[in-house]
Structure 1
């Protein structure tokens, strides 16, 4: 195993990283629901993997609760009904970070599942620890090409010259807009930071010392500042991965200065860290905020809840359009004793029309194969609900500059910087300089 990968697996386990609603590590909408009992999720890597009746049991861990969890349960049921010799047991293990912690424990105790969902920013950490199976031979054996997948979603699939994961419930942040409120003010949907600032300020309603309506909001997450860093021509990590690439060039100060200016006028409501995603979604539905940075994975729930003209749009640009991707990939554990059955589940989920396609249509996550994009069902959905196509179109501007095995630990420090600036109004330059020093220390280990 790579020493740094093993070290970071241990460090992340000890840290117990705190996540925002969007998965904390940069996106996705993991949902909520009853937590899975890891003690009841028996390892598929044990010798008695074959269930009664001659079926091979495949254990699958995921991070989807709520409605998305129901959609995943339905996918698993469809697979089981179409396969006489394999039974997939799906177990919800909590949010993305909780799933990672449990997976670390399971790998260490040789009780890991056969297949797991991994938030895309964590894939490299497990890949460097050499605990993920190379899927390239399985792909070739099934007559599937990597070119069959959506290009903008494959950035977290290849590490160390191996294909260690494939996209599953993937998302991007987009702009969600109460167009009814914008129309009342004679405003257009903003496409630039300047237009966003003007629209957000115009939507503010203040009575006395109380804000009745804010212009813009976003969940507490690293995802959105990283998007804004990229929109300003900056990088999160520098190209050598020896430091962060947005502090010394002034990009970080520009991003957080912009956010603090909006926060100061009531144009931006920045929510508390706990349950931030649900808080901002509720405010948007209730008309207490006019615009929101949020995951594409929220479209389905919002569409069925709002009573106003609701549209989505690209994240507004500063110097350029740019957006990170988020959500999770699917991976096979190298220690699985049921690799052929595990691959059949992955293959079916990724490519069968009754597999992932139905899940994507239901949930609002991004179509991850070209076949999905070209399917009659997807075209019909996009024609009926154009809001859902926005995130796919925005993939042309997808960029992920926080890719490094050290990201989980650096993320912890970045959250501390965000809290200091957005909650405690600490000096932006000094806070970012402290963060930079901590990031460089971590990257040098």
Structure 2
């Protein structure tokens, strides 16, 4: 497994600017990078400093800064220093380098697909005794969000800024055309095509869009009855049953009529969000973490809905968990920050209410504030309800490396219109090569 760690390290260093799912952005916290859990400056003698690395910029970064400030204000003997480290992949790269040099933080946000890689390298603290000592059970957390927490019989991460893809809908446009929100792929095709406005050779409005990402194709593969990996993780699970070819053929068919706008890879999330807000597209596959920002920006009747099904409803989870590094010299203080952030109302709940990410504990779900918000903004309740169909079939220590091969397949098909079966066959062979290492 150690050899695979170094193999994955080289790949992620090379591709560090690609993110597995949206949630990074720009806008630093202003804190200088630090590591290892150092003593506080002399003016704060006796105060333990906890270094916390995260990947949230923009508005979500501001919400995380506010969370850290609330913690520091309520703890006289602990000071958390939060540092924005860039995208999820950039944070992983910096974390690997810091671990190797002995300068890692005490606590780090870690995109859920990378947790297994770090867990298999024995660099994450087992949180089980900390939970037990605090009277917390794994049953206290939201079902559907714990799939990337336990590896090798150790609980090494807890959910934090978690999300799923969801369908965002400009209901005003649909109502004007007498259209219903689609619940199936076939209905999506009809509605998306009906929304298209074309003047000459130029499309003035598209039907549906989605960011450039592996997330949405993986969701659709699951909806078509496939899995990303086969049962023994020796190959892909969507080749022989045709789910992958069916999914890409469906997207290309929509793309050919203007029913689907597939954006350029660079800054795709912001591009599609802007198009949706401006009414240039009627529907959008996008993260549940976008709900808060969109709700405060759009000037039309905006609703969310489950991702349309093919054979079944299905959607992968995304976002990041929080971990403690086993090298931390301030584990009790680090755990107090994690515990407070996970379980206290003034901790993570406020962050979730502000950002639109999914509530990650049952206590959050049942809180008066969450229930009141859902009553006021039912879009967020839809996001939580969709967790009933959460499924993560790309869970493997080799996923970070295979992800980049899948990006290449997506680019070949969606941008260059390469032959779908041939492209997927090449991807399958590359996946089998990587899994066999």
> Which residue of the partner structure matches residue 185 of structure 2?
193
- If the length of structure 2 is used for normalisation, what is the TM-score? 0.98
Relative distance call for 1:135 and 1:12 in structure 2 (3 A) is: farther
Contact 2:55 2:84 in 1 (8 A): yes
**Map of 1:199-218 to 2, 5 A cutoff?**
199-218=191-210
Q: Secondary structure at the match of 2:124?
A: coil
1:211-360 maps to which residues of 2 (within 5 A)? 211-360=203-352
**Who is 1:433 aligned against?**
425
Quote how far apart the aligned CAs of 1:4 are. 4.1
Q: Does 1:108 align with 2:107?
A: no
Work out the CA distance in 1 between the residues paired with 2:113 and 2:396.
8
Check 1:29–1:280 CA distance in 2 against 1; reply closer, same or farther (3 A cut): same
1:33 counterpart residue number: 27
> 2:60 & 2:110 partners in 1: Cα distance?
16
Q: CA deviation at 1:304?
A: 1.1
- In structure 1, stretches of 5+ residues that fail to align are none
Residue 185 of structure 1: how far off its partner (Å):
1.2
* 181, 188, 208: which one aligns with 2:173: 181
Tell me, in whole angstroms, the C-alpha distance in 2 between the residues paired with 1:249 and 1:233: 8
Relative distance call for 1:402 and 1:73 in structure 2 (3 A) is: same
Distance 1:5 1:359 in 2: 36
**Separation in structure 2 between the aligned mates of residue 15 and residue 241 of structure 1, nearest angstrom:** 25
SS of the residue corresponding to residue 167 of structure 1 reads strand
Q: Distance in 2 between matches of 1:126 and 1:363?
A: 27
Contact 2:8/2:398, CA 8 A, preserved across alignment? no
TM-score normalised to structure 1 length: 0.96
- Cα deviation per residue 1:368-394 (whole Å; 9 max; x = unaligned)? 000000000000000000001111000
SS at match of 1:277: helix
Question: Is 1:10–2:22 an aligned residue pair?
Answer: no
**Equivalent position of 2:73 in the other structure:** 81
Secondary structure of 1:290's counterpart equals strand
Structure 1 residues 176 and 85: alpha-carbon distance in aligned structure 2, compared to 1, 3 A threshold: same
Tell me the SS of whatever aligns to 2:225: coil
Shift of 1:5: 4.5
For residues 90-127 of structure 1, the C-alpha deviation after alignment (integer angstroms, 9 at most, x for no partner) is 00001111111110110111100000000100101111
> Does the residue aligned with 1:168 lie in a helix, a strand or coil?
strand
Paired with 2:233 and 2:41, the residues of 1 have a C-alpha distance of 45
RMSD of the TM alignment (CA)? 1.3
CA displacement 1:269-291 (0-9 Å, x = unmatched) = 00000000000000000000000
Kept in 2: contact 1:123–1:156 (CA 8 A): yes
Cα distance in 1 for residues equivalent to 2:190 and 2:245:
20
**Count of aligned pairs between the two proteins:** 436
Q: Deviations over 1:297-346 (max 9, x none)?
A: 11111111111111000000000000000000000001000000000000
C-alpha distance in structure 1 between counterparts of 2:136 and 2:355, whole Å: 25
> Measured at CA, do residues 5 and 335 of structure 1 come closer, stay the same or move farther in structure 2, by a change above 3 Å?
farther
Q: Which runs of 5+ in 2 are unaligned?
A: none
C-alpha contact (below 8 Å) 2:28/2:61 kept by paired residues:
no
Q: Does 1:402 align with 2:401?
A: no
Determine the C-alpha separation between the residues in 2 that align with 1:173 and 1:350: 23
Contact 1:28/1:328, CA 8 A, preserved across alignment: no
